[in-house]
């Protein structure tokens, strides 16, 4: 099952800092890179009290290989930090989740952002995605139902000022469709030895 619409989720991340002991030309050539995880595998997140959600390992493997993905600030296309097709954004799946390495441009906004990250003012990252394959599991007792994202298309990864859980209405619609499917009556086996008249009556119900 796929939702065919864009959603956004947020996680903590960290920046790789430049060693201040570096001097001269080496220091000038050394760039500050933004490194962290835009998604964490197997970590259940409560999405607004509606449902729980987790990302399965391998969910981004295909997208990383074939899609044109950007690194943005606050998901704003006017503030581009990197792009995988340009080699300034690299992504991979490791044992933790979706690892991101951004080589930001030498521009004022990127330098300012790097300073804010290094100070700890900004410490979260979001990823924008489209679910291509998902599974829903009924929650036990008082637990919320669980959504497992098995395959997704990535659009961008972004350091963000505020954590974002946009597009939850998309997931809620998907959840509602799944719930209705669970409520459908299970078809009864019809005894082939019954008369045709009774078989037709049973099929009506």
pLDDT tens digits for 106-143? Answer: 899 998 988 888 888 888 888 999 999 999 999 988 88
> What single string gives the DSSP state of each residue in the chain?
----SEEEEEEE-EEEPP-TT--HHHHHH---EEEEEEEEBT--EEETTTEEEEEPTTTTHHHHHHS--EEEETTEEEEEEEEGGGTSEEEEE-SSEEEEEE---SSHHHHHHHHHHHHTS--EEEEEEEEEEEEEEPPPTTPPPEEEEEEEEEEEEEEESS---TTHHHHHHHHHHHHHHHHSPPPPPPPTTS-HHHHHHHHH-
Task: Kindly tell me if the per-residue pLDDT of 174 is higher than 80.
Answer: no
Task: Kindly tell me if the per-residue pLDDT of 184 is higher than 60.
Answer: yes
Residue-level pLDDT at 167? 46
pLDDT per residue as tens digits for the range 31-66: 678 888 888 899 888 888 888 999 999 999 999 999
The average pLDDT across 59-79 equals: 96
82 or 5, higher pLDDT: 82
Residue-level pLDDT at 121? 87
């Amino acid at each position: 099952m796929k939702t065919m619409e864009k959603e956004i989720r947020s996680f903590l991340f960290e920046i790789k800092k430049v060693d201040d002991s570096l001097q001269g030309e080496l220091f000038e050539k050394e760039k500050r890179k933004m490194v962290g995880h835009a998604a964490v595998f197997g970590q259940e997140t409560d999405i607004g009290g509606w449902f729980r959600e987790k990302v399965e390992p391998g969910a981004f493997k295909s997208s990383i290989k074939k899609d044109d993905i950007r690194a943005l600030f606050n998901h704003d296309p006017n503030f581009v930090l990197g792009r995988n097709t340009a080699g300034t954004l690299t992504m991979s799946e490791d044992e933790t989740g979706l690892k991101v390495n951004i080589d930001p441009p030498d521009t004022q906004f990127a330098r300012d952002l790097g300073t804010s990250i290094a100070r700890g003012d900004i410490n979260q990252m979001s990823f924008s995605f489209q679910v291509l394959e998902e599974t829903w599991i009924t929650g036990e007792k008082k637990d919320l139902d669980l959504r497992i994202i098995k395959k997704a298309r990535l659009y961008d990864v972004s350091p963000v000022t505020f954590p974002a859980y946009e597009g939850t209405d998309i997931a809620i619609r998907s959840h509602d469709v799944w719930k209705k499917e669970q409520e459908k009556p299970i078809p009864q086996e019809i005894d082939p030895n019954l008369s045709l008249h009774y078989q037709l009556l049973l099929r009506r119900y």
